[in-house]
Structure 1
Amino acid sequence: MKRLVVGPMTTPEYNEWWVRRINDNTPNSSQENGQSIEEHLRVILSELKIIRQDFERRNADLEKNIEQMEEEKINLKLDIDVQKLEIEKLRKGKNKAEEELDSLKTDYKKLRQSMKTVRLGKTSEQWPAKIREEKDKVDRWEQKFQEVQTRNEKSLSDSQREKCELKNRMTELERSLRQYQN
């Protein structure tokens, strides 16, 4: 295996130029400039002070924004909890209405069965009117149930949509909060 040995790739003229360039970057206390090193450093320090104050002001503004976003996040979480409670309340109401309707249907069937077996002393002309009356009652109860169920479903879907919107808003706020913190 052969190896190639290479020496420095710079020329003496380049080295000389490089040394002069480095020396040119060092500030000299020349009378031409009219400003001493101390005065130059004071100017730099005052500029640093201004930059620092600007940084502190921006930092304070960002901290204020973060606090506001955290408060809004807490409020949104509370709103979500309230929506969950309302949804649960509507579900319970719907379940109760369904149970009552089932109970009414069962009672109606039992009543019809007992009427068939006992006849309750009514004449054959009175029974069709009584049956029609009971059917009308059942129809009214079913109509009321349908109205309540429709209202509950609409309210439930509205609450779920609002809950979804609140979750999306909370996610957006959390993302913004993370961006401000980074």
Structure 2
Amino acid sequence: MNLRLDVDVQKLEADKLRKGKNKAEEELDSLKTDYKKLRLSMRTTGLGKTLEQWQVQVRNKALKKRLSESQKEEGELKDRVVELEGSLRQRRSRNSVVELKVSLSKIEEMKGKIKGLKAALQNCDVRIEHLKAKEGRQNEQLSYFQNQVRDRDHVMGEAVVQIREIADHLQALAIQADTLSVKYEL
């Protein structure tokens, strides 16, 4: 914001300087013309000056004084422009330093965040490895339990078959016993 104001002030001062210079040059040209007329008039009329000639001479002196003042002001304005340009360069360099410091602090902050994220990533990797190992153990246990259930189902299936065979055999024995008991009773 200050830089813009400085630039605007510099532009205004430069414009003012240019206008003053142009006006001074116009007045100088007018003075030169009036001076030439005065010299010519003095030559033709001798040393006696008319009121008009005295007025021209007074006006010329006033214009010369204003020209001198304008040139002095122009020099002061040029010095001010140089001073403002130096100030502008200093502010720009200060702003650059401030921007660099801000950038460095942001970089350091990002480095800290990156370290934190790397640590979190390592923790996640460790947890993933732990969960994979746990999953492997659980899969082994599941397979073991499935095999046990299969074995138990097989044993129970054989037991059911044997129980049926025994039941059939007992039934056959019961029938034989009934037959024998009927035979012996008669």
- So what's the TM-score if we normalise by structure 1? 0.46
Choose between structure 1 and 2 for higher RCO, CA contacts under 8 A separated by at least 6 residues: 1
- Work out which of the two has the higher radius of gyration on C-alpha atoms and give 1 or 2: 2
- So what's the TM-score if we normalise by structure 2? 0.45
User: Which has a greater percent of helix?
Assistant: 2
